[in-house]
Each structure stands twice: as C-alpha cells, then as structure tokens.
Amino acid sequence: MRALRWHGKHDIRCDDHVPDPSIEDPRDAIIKVSSCAICGSDLHLYDGFMPGMQHGDIMGHEFMGEVMEVGSANKKLKVGDRVVVPFTIVCGECDQCRRGNFSVCERTNRNKDIADKVFGHTTAGLYGYTHLTGGYAGGQAEYVRVPYADVGPVVIPNGLTDEQVLFLGDILPTGWQAAAQCDIQPTDTVAVWGAGPVGQFAIRSAVMMGAEQVICIDNVPERLSMARAGGAITINFDEESVLERLKELTRGKGPEKCIDSVGMEAHAARSIDSMYDRAKQALMLESDRPHVLREMIYVCRPAGIISIPGVYGGLIDKIPFGAAMNKGLTFRMGQTHVNRWTDDLLRRIQEGEIDPSFVITHSVSLEQGPEMYKTFRDKHDGCIKVVLKP
Amino acid sequence: MSIPRQVTRPNHSARTLARGLGWFSIGLGVVQLVAPRQVARFIGMSGSEGLVRVCGLREIATGVGILLADDPKPWIYGRIGGDALDLAGLGWSIEHGDEQANAAIAAGAVAGITALDLSCAKALDAEQVPSVEWDYSDRSGFPGGTAQMRGSVEAEFAAARAEPNGYSPSLH
C-alpha cells in the first residue's frame, strides 16, 4: 500500500510498497482509508520537536474509512461499515476509560514502560504519534489497523459526507472539550489564542455554549476572517497590542476564560520571550515555546480558567507561576477524551447545528501529502486544513 | 465559496527589524556626537573627530528617517550606503591606523550590522510582491447562521456545570 512515512525532520515521503496491515488481535479491524487529514500536531513531528519517532513510521491520526476486515472477537463492527476513528486508542475497560478519561487509557500504550518513566504514568496509545504513545501506524495511508476496534470507532450513518464527519476523530471534539473545560457562563469573555483548525472549533463551541463574547488572537488574515465568520472578535497581534485590546474589550478586567490552541510552537520572532525560548530550544535546554501560556496567565481575570488543547511535549521555562497561583487560576488541559463527545457532536452534525467542513481549505491526493505538510506549516495559499484522499 | 484576491502585505518582522535598526542608528550616532575623540582613538583614527561627528549626524538622520517614515526602505538603503563608507574608513584604518586590531573588530561589527541591513532591505522589497489572500468570511460552519447558534447549547451545559474548584459562586 501507499502511505506517508516519516524519514526525519522535514522529510515525509509518500512511499509505495509499504506492507499492508493485518489483524493482530481478535478485537482489531482493518480500515480502508477514504479520507485523512494533516493535524497541527503532526507539524510538531514534521518540525522535529517531538522525540520518539523512528525512520519509516506512518504518519497521521485523523482518518476515516470503510471496514474491510474484523477480528473474531469484534462484535461492534462489520465489513462495509463506515467509521471515523478517534485518534486516542481506548480499551473501554480500564479504570480511566470507565471514568470517561479516554485519553489516559491505561492499557493501550504498547510502550507503557517508557511513558511511565517519562510522564510518571502512561497515556493512551495514539496513531502515528511517536513510540512514546505506542508506535502505532498512522492513518495517512491506504489501509490502517485499528486496535480495540470494538470500542473507539464511531459508525457513521448514511447521508453524511466524509468532510462533515472526518473531524469527529480529533479537532472538533478537541475544540469542543477546550470550551467545555472553561465552564462558560453567559457573562464570560472567552479568549482563544490561535485561529488554526482547533481554534476555529473552540471559537464555535464557545459561541454555542453562550459566551458573552469570544475573542480570537492570531496574525494570519485568512484565519482571522474565518474566526470572525464564526462569531469571534479578532485581534491581529501584528497590528495591535494583545494586552491593550483585551483590556479594552473586557473593560480592564481581562477574559474570564483563556484557550491555548497554539501549543509548543508559538511564533519564535514576535516577542522577546519567544526569541529567548527559540534560543534555548536550539541549545536543547527547553523543548517547547510557551509564549501563549505566559500571556494567558498575565491577561486572565483572577479566578479564571486556562484551558489548554494545544500540544506541549516536554519542558517549559519561565512560567509566571506566582501570578497564576496568586490570581487563583484553574488550569485544565490534556489530550482529548474523544469518545466522551462523539455521540453528542455527531448528533449536532446530523441535525445541522454545525458543519465542520467549513475548515477545509485543501483537498488533495495522498501523493501530494508531503508538499502539503510544508504548505500547511508555512500557512501558504490560505491553508487552514488539509484533507488527503488515499 | 471563498474568493482569493491579490494583496500586498506589510512584512511585520521586517518592519520591527527596521525600527530596531533605526534606534540602533540613533544610539550609535549619539555616541559618535558626544564622544568623537574616544571613538576616533578606539578605531585608530585620532585627529578625525570631525569625520566621526559627521558620521554621527548621518546615523541620527537615517535613524530618525527610519522611525518616522511610512516606508522605511529608502532609509535602510541609506544605512547600507553608510555601512559601505564606514567599512571603507575602517579598511583604511586597518591598513594605516594606529589601532589596527580595534579597527578590525569594529569592521567585523559593521559587517554584521550590514548583513542585518541587507536582509531587512530584501524583506522590505518583498512587500511589493503581491500574494494571494483568501477571504473566508463566508465560512461560519453554522448552516443556520451564527446568530441563531449563539448560546444554543447553553442550557444543556448549565445543567451539568461544575463551578471552578467545585464551589458554588453564591455567597452565604
């Protein structure tokens, strides 16, 4: 089969003759991928900021397709079912899964020992996202093996296009969870840093959950125009001061709820602290650039909530924790507990409340995937979300 | 849906760099005006205090020009011309001056600043190249319209809402 494979930093290739996956466990299923997408967090692998990738690893954790084969113990799926596969692999039986904390499933990470050592405790296995999370083959391929396929995959009813439902596997519930973690109240101002795909869904989720105003901070005009379309007031940080504008919009009080949809790769040349982070990154003294976190802690209204769907990978430096502690801020974060939200969000898509396809700007073949990584990373050609068709 | 249009965009990084170079110019110019003897002695050109003062005035003029102009590009090119003059003078001092090592150090520093000036000018030149900007203002994601969806799930979430830290906000 063909698949997009990681061969090193900035080196992703569409390789032919990759071995087809096969059933390895009776609960497995094999999916023929009809659509997959490049996620912002894939760019962390592309840019070499996440350790634990190996030469030849198949990329991708946002995918859907048709069930081609099911294991003997899989009673949920049948051949021909159309499914969206959540990016977190969940067993459905461990203590965390039973509590709905699916992204920290205790059983699906095949390299649990490494994760236990690095993080203290393991997190769930993820598709195509380093050997720290199990080293599972990803979904930017013609076929993919889905472990624990009797738990995670969401069967899609007829009448919905791939474009409408593909993002149920990651970025739609990620934006939704980011907003839900904010406990939004009708008087709240919600500020969202980053108008990429997750930021766009966080904005729409916050609007639906009834925030008084939603403010989006970015510097890419196309992304800001899409954010305004979804109901946000926008701040272009190239053109105006984020701190001053947020003060003005909140009558000096600051946003009650702040969402970091940027994560570890904040712009490296826009502020002194970012340049400091970039220099430390180059010297391998820091793994992530937490400019957004610092700014959120500074502007957030005391007793507010900071919600972090943006991915961080390792160690960060110079976090004003004294401010965070004394202001009584609550931090909520984590990889998305996808299956906690999928049924509800699928219903909302079916009922026409939201159509996630608005975020797609590029739809291309799998062969064009490698060049699309660069286009997406550099935000060229108005690129916000890339869908690949194997 | 979503129509592309040709636009020219200001390069904010280049303009930030230009402002930095403007302030640097003014700072250097002030030093050359206030302490010409020390500067001339350091680079091995004692007796050229008048020339150093003229260079200081030039630095301040280009710095002010960069900071006040809507388009700093001509002033950045002015700085590049000044850099060439400075390098020529320092080259002479390396050959004939009495502080050749200091002159070489100063020439190295000027060469570094010249590289920054050149990269800034190049980036400002690129501002004139039209790029495609997409207008996504028709992509709300709400088939029923944004206004209709505002607060549409508020009641459902209010029922299950947990206040921060689990405490009710009401006072007792």
Per-residue pLDDT averaged across B23-48, rounded?
A: 94
Q: Is the dihedral of CA A14, A15, A18, A24 positive or negative?
A: negative
pLDDT above 80 (res B169): no
How far is C-alpha A50 from the geometric centre of its chain's CA atoms?
14
Rounded to the nearest angstrom, the minimum Cα separation between A229 and chain B is: 5
Q: Which residue of A has its CA nearest to B147?
A: A231
Angle at A207 between CA B143 and CA A382, to 5 degrees: 65
Angle at A351 between CA A348 and CA A352, to 5 degrees: 85
Quick one: tokens of B163?
């206040």
Asked whether the beta carbons of residue B154 and residue A210 sit closer than 8 angstroms, the reply is yes
pLDDT at A270: 65
A204 touches chain B (CB under 8 A): yes
Those residues whose C-beta lies under 8 Å from the C-beta of residue B84, and which sit 6 or more positions away, are: B114
pLDDT above 70 (res A286): yes
ipTM for the whole complex? 0.89
Q: How far apart are CA A323 and CA A118, in angstroms?
A: 28
Asked, for residue B12, whether it belongs to a domain, the answer is: yes
Asked whether the beta carbons of residue B143 and residue A210 sit closer than 8 angstroms, the reply is no
Per-residue pLDDT averaged across A160-181, rounded?
A: 97
Chain A residue numbers with beta carbons less than 8 Å from the beta carbon of B154 are 184, 186, 208-210
Confidence of residue B127 (pLDDT cuts 50, 70, 90): confident
More confident residue, A50 or A110: A110
Q: How far apart are CA A232 and CA A223, in angstroms?
A: 11
Question: Which residues of B, range 100-139, sit inside 8 Å of A by Cβ?
Answer: 132-139
Asked whether the beta carbons of residue B139 and residue A219 sit closer than 8 angstroms, the reply is no
Q: How far apart are CA A98 and CA B77, in angstroms?
A: 66
Please check whether residue A170 is in contact with residue A261, taking contact to mean a CB–CB distance below 8 angstroms.
no
Asked, for residue B107, whether it belongs to a domain, the answer is: yes
Per-residue pLDDT averaged across A273-296, rounded?
A: 87
More confident residue, B37 or B97: B37
Q: Which residues of A164-196 are buried (b: 16+ CB within 10 A; e: fewer)?
A: bbbbbbbbbbbbbbbbbbbbbbeebbbbbbbbb
pLDDT at B168: 47
Q: How many CB pairs under 8 A join A and B?
A: 104
Mutate to test the interface with A, among B133, B139, B148, B149 (most CBs of A within 10 A): B139
Q: Which residue of B has its CA nearest to A238?
A: B12
Confidence of residue B138 (pLDDT cuts 50, 70, 90): very high
Please check whether residue B57 is in contact with residue B65, taking contact to mean a CB–CB distance below 8 angstroms.
no
Chain A residue numbers with beta carbons less than 8 Å from the beta carbon of B135 are 222, 225
Say how many domains are in chain B. 1
Per-residue pLDDT averaged across A130-155, rounded?
A: 96
Q: C-alpha distances in angstroms, B144 versus A158, A161, A349, B152?
A: 21, 18, 12, 11
Is the pTM higher than 0.80?
A: yes
> Hey, is A184 helix, strand or coil?
coil
Confidence of residue A49 (pLDDT cuts 50, 70, 90): confident
Among A185, A221, A384, select the one facing B133 at the smallest CB separation: A221
Asked whether the beta carbons of residue A330 and residue B165 sit closer than 8 angstroms, the reply is yes
DSSP letters, A146-174, are ETTTTTS-EEPPTT--HHHHGGGGTHHHH
Asked, for residue B138, whether it belongs to a domain, the answer is: no
Rounded to the nearest angstrom, the minimum Cα separation between A354 and chain B is: 5
Asked, for residue B170, whether it belongs to a domain, the answer is: no
Among A185, A226, A303, select the one facing B136 at the smallest CB separation: A226
Q: Which of A105, A3, A140, A78 is nearest to A338 (CA)?
A: A105
Confidence of residue B166 (pLDDT cuts 50, 70, 90): very low
Asked, for residue B162, whether it belongs to a domain, the answer is: no
Quick one: tokens of A134?
């199990």
Those residues whose C-beta lies under 8 Å from the C-beta of residue B88, and which sit 6 or more positions away, are: none
Q: How far apart are CA A222 and CA A228, in angstroms?
A: 10
Rounded to the nearest angstrom, the minimum Cα separation between A168 and chain B is: 14
Q: Residue A32's beta-bridge partner residues? A: A66, A143
Q: How far apart are CA B17 and CA B19, in angstroms?
A: 5
Q: C-alpha distances in angstroms, B45 versus A87, A204, B101, B158?
A: 69, 67, 12, 77
- Tokens 């108005």, located at residue: A382
Question: Which residues of A, range 124-153, sit inside 8 Å of B by Cβ?
Answer: none
Q: Which domain holds residue B105?
A: 4-132
Asked, for residue B172, whether it belongs to a domain, the answer is: no
Quick one: tokens of A318?
């110079």
Please check whether residue A371 is in contact with residue A14, taking contact to mean a CB–CB distance below 8 angstroms.
no
Q: How far apart are CA B118 and CA B114, in angstroms?
A: 6
Domains and CATH numbers, chain A: 3-170+336-389 (3.90.180.10), 172-333 (3.40.50.720)
pLDDT at B1: 56
Q: How far apart are CA A177 and CA A309, in angstroms?
A: 8
Q: Which helix (H) or strand (E) holds A68?
A: strand A62-70
Q: Which residue of A has its CA nearest to B16?
A: A270
pLDDT above 90 as % of chain B = 65
Question: Which residues of B, range 45-64, sit inside 8 Å of A by Cβ?
Answer: none
